[in-house]
Amino acid sequence: MTKPAIRCRRPAAPKGRASLRRRTLVAILATLFVIPLQATAQDAMMGTVLDEPGSAGLGFAFRAESSPYRDGGTRDDFLPLYLYEGERFFLRANEAGMRLWRNDTMGLEGFVERRLEGFPEDEEPASLDGMTVRNTGADLGVRYYLQQGASRWDAAVRHDIAGLSHGTEVRAGYAYTIERQRWRLQPVAIATWRDGDLNDYYYGVAPLEARADRPSYDAGDGWNATLALYGKYRIFQHWSLVGGAYVTKLSSEIRNSPVVDDDLQWGVMAGAAYDFGNGQVRWDEATAPTYVKVFYGRDTGDGCHLVRIMTLQCVSLNDEDPTDIYGVHVGRPFVSRFNGWPLDIIGYVGLLKHDEKGLQPDGWQVDAYMKGFWYGFPWSHRVTTRVGFGIGVSYAERVPYTEVVTQAQRERNTSKLLNYLEPSIDVSVGDLFGNKRWHDVYFGFAVSHRSGIFASSELLGTVDGGSNYLYAYLEAAF
C-alpha cells in the first residue's frame, strides 16, 4: 500500500545558548574578515571568492541576519560554498551560470539563482501562524557588468522560475575593491526594484490569512537600498577566511505590511574557503582524460544511514517499498597528484533517473560535485585501488519517494535541492585481469547521499534528513 505523502508544519524551536554563541562568533569574525561572497546576503553581484579564472574551490559560511517578519528574531544559517570559475561556466554558492559575452572591461552573464528569502516551515514566526509557507525560490536572470580599475558597475534583472511569486526584480550596484597582498575589501552599494508580485508573495496577507491583528494586505512594487562590506583574508596559500556584513532599507510597501516589524534588515556572515588554484587545475587541458561512470542501485533499508554504511555496519537494501536509480556521471580532472600525494580531484556532473516502481511518477536528478580519490595503498602497484569521497549539490525534478516517506514520518519538510555526498571504493578491472588496456576502467560501489545538513541551511530548504542509495558502477577514462 502506498504511504501518504504529507507535509507537516512544526513550531519554531527555541534559540539556545549554542545558537547565541554561534551568532556572536559569526559577528566577530565578520568584523575582522570580510569578503565578496557571491550570492550571499542581498545580492550575488560583486566578484567571487576565487582569485583567478579557471579555479575551483570549496568552503562554508555561517550567516546571521535579522528577520524582516514580526517576532522573527535573528535567523542563523549555514551556507555551503561550491565554487568554480571557468571560461564559460561558473558556480558561486547559490548561483550557477554562463558567460554569454565578455571582453577586458565588461561582460554579460546568464544565471540561475536560489533566492534565500522567506521563512522555512520549521521556523515560522508567531506573526505568520496559519499563513501559507513562503520559502526559498529560484530565479532566472541576466547580468551586465562594467569593470574599470577598482570600480565595478553591475545591473541585473531576474524573474521567478519556481512558480512561487511569479515576481521580477531589477538590481543595480556599485563596488570598489581595495586589495593588498593577503587581503581584499569591497564596499558595495545596491539599489533594488521589486515588483508587486514578488513583494506580495513574501510580505502580503491574503484575505483567508487575515485575522484581528493581521489584516489582509496587498504589497505593491518598491525600492530597497543596501550598503554592504565584503572581504577576504588569505591565511595560507590556498585557504582564506571569508565574510561580510550588510544593512538593507526596505521599501514602504514591505514595511507597511502587518507581518513586518522594521524597515531595516541587517546580516553578517563568516567562513572559510579553499581555492585549488588555476595552476593545478587540469579541467580545460586538451590532454586531460574524460571520466564516464554508469551505475545502478537501490535505496537502503530503514536506519541504514551514511555513517553506518561507510563504517560497514550496514549494507542492507530496502525490501519493503524499494526504489531504484540508474544514470551516468561525466567527470574531468581538476588536480592530479594533489601536493605530490597519491590524490586526484575530479569534478563531475551527471543525470540520474529515479525508478519509483509505481509508488509515484519517476523523476530525473542532476548532480554536480567535486570528488577526491586516494590510491596510495601498499598493493596499488599490483591492483590500483581507489577510495573516493565527493561533495556537491543535487537537484531532483521531483522529491524522491524515499525522502517523501521518511520525512513525512518524521513530520519534516522536503526540498528538491540538497547537499550531495558520495563515498566510494573501486579497483582497476585491467589490473584484476592482467589487461593493461583496461587499466583505467574501474569497478566499484558507492553511496548516493542527499541531505539538508541537519536543517542548518536555508539554501537547502532547512531540511533535516535525506536519502541513501547504494549502487554499483563501472567507470572508464577516455
- pLDDT at residue 71, as a whole number: 87
Alpha-carbon distance of 200 to 257, in angstroms, equals 9
pLDDT confidence of 284, banded at 50, 70, 90?
low
Q: What confidence tier does 33 reach under pLDDT thresholds 50, 70, 90?
A: very low
Per DSSP (E only), the strands in 303-342 are 324-335
Half-sphere exposure of 382 (CA within 13 A, CB side): 2
**What is the structure's pLDDT at 85?**
80
The candidate with the shortest Cα–Cα distance to 259, out of 75, 115, 131, 76, is 131
Helix (H, G, I), strand (E, B) or coil at 95: strand
pLDDT band at residue 459 using 50, 70 and 90 as cut-offs:
confident
CA distance 301 to 467: 10
Is residue 108's pLDDT more than 90?
yes
Asked if the model's pLDDT at residue 325 lies above 90, the reply is yes
Question: What confidence score (pLDDT) does residue 125 get?
Answer: 83
Residue 390 confidence (pLDDT): 94
What is the C-alpha separation between 253 and 256, in angstroms, rounded?
A: 6
| pLDDT level of residue 52 (50, 70, 90 thresholds) | low
Residue-level pLDDT at 37:
35
**DSSP 3-state assignment of 316?**
coil
How far is the C-alpha of 160 from the C-alpha of 447, rounded, in Å?
Answer: 33
Where is pLDDT greater, at 1 or 49?
49
- Range of lowest pLDDT (137-141, 155-159, 311-315, 373-377): 311-315
164 or 94, greater pLDDT: 164
Q: How confident is the model at residue 227 (pLDDT cuts 50, 70, 90)?
A: very high
Q: What is the pLDDT of residues 380-412, one digit of tens each?
A: 889 999 999 999 999 999 999 999 998 888 888
Out of 156-165, 246-255, 401-410, 418-427, which region has the weakest mean confidence (pLDDT)? 401-410
> Would you place residue 277 in the very low, low, confident or very high pLDDT band (cuts 50, 70, 90)?
low
**Average pLDDT value over all residues in the chain:** 84
Local confidence band at 283 (pLDDT 50, 70, 90 cut-offs)? low
**Residue 331 grid cell:** 567527470
- pLDDT, one tens digit per residue, over 59-103 is 888 889 999 999 888 888 888 888 888 778 888 878 889 999 999
Average pLDDT over residues 153-171: 95
Q: Please tell me which of 218-222, 279-283, 434-438 the model is most confident about, judged by mean pLDDT.
A: 218-222
What pLDDT does residue 338 have?
Answer: 82
pLDDT for the residue 301: 86
Domains and CATH numbers, the chain: 17-275 (2.40.160.40), 291-477 (2.40.160.20)
When pLDDT is averaged across residues 97-123 and rounded to a whole number, the result is: 87
> Environment class of residue 468 by beta-carbon count within 10 Å: exposed (0-12), middle (13-18) or buried (19+)?
buried
Give CA separation, 361 vs 8, 83, 229, in Å.
22, 33, 46
Q: 143 near 172, Cβ under 8 Å?
A: no
What is the average pLDDT across 422-449?
95
Amino acid at 250: L
* 368-377, 405-414, 441-450: range with lowest mean pLDDT: 405-414
Residue 329 corresponds to which cell in the numbers above? 556521471
Of the chain, the percentage scoring pLDDT greater than 70 comes to 86
Model pLDDT, residue 334: 82
Residue 120 pLDDT > 80, yes or no?
no
